[in-house]
Amino acid sequence: MRTRWQLIVAALFCLITGFTVGAHAANAADKPSSILVIGDSLSAEYGLQRGSGWVNLIQKRLDDAGLAWRINNASISGDTTSGGLSRFPDALERHKPDIVIIELGSNDALRGLSLDMTRSNLAGMVEQAKAAGSRVVLVGMQIPPNYGRQYTEAFKTLFEDLAKAKHVALVPFLLDGIATDRSLFQADGIHPNESAQPVLANNVWKALEALVTARP
């Protein structure tokens, strides 16, 4: 009799644990992959109606395509690469992203900060992301020539060289296609307006598409 009850209990245990494992597996399969955007005002919808920025437009594109990805936007207006680097570990831990989009550096250049420091900060974020198992998209920027030809050119190539050295995807220039069209900027002449956001989204999508559609 005791042996019979032991067999019944063992069978019930197998059923229960099997159901639990199956439920966990199903939940893991249903959970969308995640993208972390860490950037400045160009990604934080500065001066824009909520939901109209390029980050949200990419989320909509993913949803419309039936791609199970969720974007977490950790961008802060006015942020520099130093600020991004300091808060990056916490963002990685909190969101555990499969892909990280790094859009920082513009404020470094506008303040005339050391490009060696900018490069080091960006490299640090790329390395941390890769160590955490995340793929990376580095978003390149450019600045007006009035900052001096040497500084302007060095800032542009910084992103290209870093992406090549670290073997990560690159958006060559976030503002490509709008930079010389003043009608696509807000009154400050610095921040793109709502009409420009689809162009920015397309620029990022060119580098991101292959990563979100690739098989695991």
Residues carrying an active site annotation: 41, 188, 191
Residues 6 or more apart in contact with residue 83 via CB below 8 angstroms: 76
3-state SS of the chain: helix, strand, coil percent to 5?
A: 55, 10, 30
* Under 8 Å between Cβ of 35 and 100: yes
Q: How far apart are CA 61 and CA 92, in angstroms?
A: 24
* Under 8 Å between Cβ of 102 and 137: yes
Nearest to 55 by CA among 101, 16, 86: 101
Amino acid at the residue 3: T
- For 68, other C-beta atoms within 10 Å of its C-beta total 13
Strand partners, 31: none
Residue carrying structure tokens 């920082």: 104
Q: Does the CA dihedral 83-86-89-91 come out positive or negative?
A: negative
* Structure token digits, residue 38: 């860490």
Looking at residue 195, the DSSP 8-state letter turns out to be: G
